[in-house]
Chain A
């Protein structure tokens, strides 16, 4: 990987300098506290009793008012990790689609398949999508399916496995389908069988990943059933609130581009390794509110400012690496001003302790966070994604 200041690098440097100057003269966003967000460490404290918005954990849904209800099955993002939300709320707010995993036989992750007598092709589990409505009803949407995204009109896109059973074999091939309402029929939008993850709707366009060898990711856009085009190699950070643009992360996780989804044209670009402060990497699945984007980053969180034809790194919020070694995932702005950020933080197993998850709520102006108590990582403590009700999924 060469670090060469080409024309793009020089342009990015100019943009970064310009962005810094803008912050100095006070053109940046000011929080409710009257101060401009500044780069620095986040101070994390226990005590978050009620995360913003609805959350899921195991078989429990806690809505935005704190009311608990029982899900029909335990939530699990085992088929896609943070590439897509574990649970997503419909545009009208009444339905939550969530991912589950039915284990057909236990797998000891420390042992190889062969040592457990698991032959190639053996059935291991079944991913499914379920729906939980605001009346407490819970039902199966699709068996052998995962990664859902709601369209503004109530249609839901997801990956339907060719064979519903996940096996000890190569890829879990599927097709991308769209169901017009939870009781409607499926229309195949991407018929070629491959390993996909549905990411999000951008208006009437569907964004989804094709996962290749070595987990190489390609972001595809479907303009209509069968009308598929490649948007970029890499992953998506967020769709703009007007659903016209998407922030794309390069395959090597070092540069971010804003693309016009309709044309695929690049509008702005930044290499975070030569930004100020420099970052080693940023990651996918962030959030976009107004002209701000937040993404996971090597230091913790990166907040970008999107201008007309420019993309600047406005703020880096660093987390204590001893407390949260791999950082945070799926950060989301939870206020319209773009000052409050909620994210999940997973801590891997260490010293005989199992992995755990926290939810954090952070104020990026005063750089403090509150965190929930730890939950077992296998219970998938996550925010319910309500992007469809407020961001790129809406007209």
Chain B
């Protein structure tokens, strides 16, 4: 095993050793479908005794309001599990991402491979080479449109994406990354 492999192995063991919910406060997200480019995404934490703390950001999903329209409509209502979280994801979607479980819409069509994410590079930067819409560059409100994923803004400092990401870790006490599962991570409802 080379040095990089050894370090990776140690990191993997360390990651597994971190408690899943160090602070043990149940934390989840709620997305209330209002419009494709302006719908509230709220993080909620149940601190016990009936006290639930929330914080809300603007978010978007889909291009149309038909959740059965694959690759076009916003995501279906209901509870979603989390299937993974990455800080430096490097697929067609990049950077800080939350991977949601699949969900059937109201006519039975399966929506799949949907995320909460923004438009940034795998290194969490911005890449804006053209005057048009660049996929890893947050240009403005039009970027809230998606094929179905929930998108938050990458503009400003701190960006909404940073607050969503940091809020998840600090409130839940869950610092895991990679592929893992959390039940009832996101609830999608109609306004």
B-contacting residues of A (Cβ < 8 Å)? 1-4, 6, 76-83, 101, 107, 109-115, 120, 166, 168, 170-172, 195, 211-217, 235, 251-253, 281, 283-284, 298, 325-327, 329, 346, 348-349, 354-355, 357, 377-378, 380
Number of interface residues of B (CB under 8 A): 54
9 more A-B contacts (CB under 8 A) besides A1-B140, A78-B108, A348-B68?
A1-B143, A77-B109, A83-B70, A115-B183, A171-B112, A214-B146, A214-B149, A215-B113, A355-B68
**Does B101 have its Cβ within 8 Å of any Cβ on chain A?**
yes
Contact mask for chain B residues 70-100; partner A; CB cutoff 8 A; 1 contact, 0 none: 1111001111110100000001110000000
How far is it, in angstroms, between the C-alpha of A172 and the C-alpha of B113 when the chains are bound? 10
Q: Could you say which residues of chain A place their CB within 8 Å of the CB of B19?
A: none
Q: Could you say which residues of chain A place their CB within 8 Å of the CB of B67?
A: 348
User: In the complex, are the beta carbons of A113 and B110 less than 8 A apart?
Assistant: no
User: In the complex, are the beta carbons of A114 and B70 less than 8 A apart?
Assistant: no
How far is it, in angstroms, between the C-alpha of A63 and the C-alpha of B71 when the chains are bound? 31
User: In the complex, are the beta carbons of B131 and A4 less than 8 A apart?
Assistant: yes
What's the count of A-B pairs with C-beta under 8 Å? 170
Contact mask for chain B residues 117-156; partner A; CB cutoff 8 A; 1 contact, 0 none: 1000000000000011100000111110111110000000
Q: Could you say which residues of chain A place their CB within 8 Å of the CB of B71?
A: 83, 211, 215-217, 235, 284
Among B64, B79, B111, B132, contact of A111 (Cβ-Cβ < 8 Å): B79
Q: Could you say which residues of chain B place their CB within 8 Å of the CB of A251?
A: 147
Known: A114-B181, A325-B65. A214 touches B107 (CB 8 A): no
User: In the complex, are the beta carbons of A2 and B140 less than 8 A apart?
Assistant: yes
**Does B103 have its Cβ within 8 Å of any Cβ on chain A?**
yes
Q: Could you say which residues of chain A place their CB within 8 Å of the CB of B107?
A: 77-78, 346, 355, 357, 377-378, 380
How far is it, in angstroms, between the C-alpha of A212 and the C-alpha of B101 when the chains are bound? 15
User: In the complex, are the beta carbons of A215 and B114 less than 8 A apart?
Assistant: yes
> Interface residues of B: mostly helix, strand, loop or mixed?
loop
Q: Could you say which residues of chain B place their CB within 8 Å of the CB of A80?
A: 70, 109
User: In the complex, are the beta carbons of B183 and A114 less than 8 A apart?
Assistant: yes
User: In the complex, are the beta carbons of B113 and A6 less than 8 A apart?
Assistant: no
Among B76, B91, B110, B113, contact of A78 (Cβ-Cβ < 8 Å): B110
User: In the complex, are the beta carbons of B70 and A109 less than 8 A apart?
Assistant: no
How far is it, in angstroms, between the C-alpha of A235 and the C-alpha of B70 when the chains are bound? 11
Smallest CB-CB separation from B181: which chain A residue?
A120
User: In the complex, are the beta carbons of B184 and A170 less than 8 A apart?
Assistant: no
**Does B115 have its Cβ within 8 Å of any Cβ on chain A?**
yes
**Does B63 have its Cβ within 8 Å of any Cβ on chain A?**
yes
User: In the complex, are the beta carbons of A1 and B142 less than 8 A apart?
Assistant: yes
**Does B69 have its Cβ within 8 Å of any Cβ on chain A?**
yes
**Does B66 have its Cβ within 8 Å of any Cβ on chain A?**
yes
Smallest CB-CB separation from B75: which chain A residue?
A215
B139 to chain A: closest CB distance in Å?
A: 5
Across chains A and B, which 4 residue pairs bring their CB atoms closest together, nearest first? Answer: A1-B142, A114-B183, A326-B66, A81-B70
